[in-house]
Amino acid sequence: MESPSGLVGPDTPRGVVMTEEDIADTVAAFAQAAADAKRLGFDTLELHGAHGYLIDQFFWSGTNKRTDAFGGATIRERSRFAADIVRAVRTAVGSDFPLILRVSQWKQQGYKARLATSPQEMTEWLAPLVEAGVDILHCSQRRFWEPEFPDIDGEHGLNFAGWAKKLTGAATISVGSVGLSSDFFAAFGGEGSGAAALDNLYTRMERDEFDLIAVGRVLLSDAHCAEKVQSGQTDSLRGFNAADLAVLA
Ligand SMILES: Cc1cc2nc3c(=O)[nH]c(=O)nc-3n(C[C@H](O)[C@H](O)[C@H](O)COP(=O)(O)O)c2cc1C
């Protein structure tokens, strides 16, 4: 397994350090896969740059200790790998093909990890990626209702997708425990999650904080959740039951 610095988490060795040739090959492979996806008829493409996977390992100072052009003390420097991929993918699919990039502060290897601790750092992280060709930033949070920088705009302040949209001008998707009372790590432990009110979501949508909302577990357990939300029957949303993972609804 390849990684920026042979680390899967801070002080956790795993995999081999990528050479510059490995990096070039990987960027080219992303571009080839994107071109193939378009040729096969897909309408859009989402790159996974979140949750502690390869692209995110380049973003994170805990896993990127490189001293070449793909590492550095700042998030802008550590975003170079992602920017190269986005540019190559954009060239491969052309200008009129929607391109989404999934990003997160948190990692599977560090729930409290943060790539950007201020709006300025968030701009340095995300703006170059939008400039490189991303249309939509898919901003993953464990709980969408949590404000990203409460010190600045308070406990009801913008969430991650809200700040990303404000700072970059790109469209954004918010995600994380929509309609549910606990985050998805509980699901890995075999736990369910009760249904939760959607008031906070509606408030944020009314103020145009972000453009789209993604759902995971609610849809896994309740195939009718979109219709229920549309027709105002939110009281009958089922929540998430871990046992439903074994069944196709
Ligand atoms: C059973 C299950 C498996 C998941 N597997 C992955 C995964 O392999 N990689 C990943 O990045 N996210 C994974 N996720 C997280 C989802 O992509 C999504 O971000 C998360 O479920 C948030 O949406 P929700 O809170 O509405 O469920 C998984 C989630 C669930 C419930």
**For residue 188, which atom of ligand 1 is closest to its CA?**
1
The per-residue pLDDT for 249 is 56
- Measure the CA–CA gap between 40 and 43, rounded to whole angstroms: 9
Sorted by sequence, the CB contacts under 8 Å of residue 161 that are 6+ apart come out as 137, 139, 141, 144, 172, 173, 174, 175, 209, 210
Q: Which residues of 2-135 form beta strands (DSSP E)?
A: 2-3, 7-9, 12-13, 16-17, 45-48, 99-104
Gap between the Cα atoms of 63 and 17, Å rounded: 11
pLDDT under 50: residue ranges of the chain: none
| Cα 69 to ligand 1 centroid, rounded to whole Å | 32
Superfamily of domain covering 2-218: Aldolase class I (3.20.20.70)
Is ligand 1 within 6 A of the CB of residue 187?
yes
Model confidence pLDDT, tens digit, residues 122-147? 999 999 999 999 999 999 999 999 99
Predicted TM-score (pTM) of this structure: 0.96
Distance 87 CA to ligand 1 centre (A): 27
CA of 243 to the centre of ligand 1 (A): 15
pLDDT at residue number 161? 98
Amino acid at 90: R
The whole-number pLDDT of residue 184 equals 81
Whether 228 is in the pocket of ligand 1, judged by its Cβ within 6 Å, is no
141 lines ligand 1 (CB under 6 A): no
Give me the pLDDT at residue 157, please. Answer: 98
Give the per-residue pLDDT at 24: 98
DSSP helix/strand/coil, 83? helix
Which residue bears the tokens 């081999």? Answer: 16
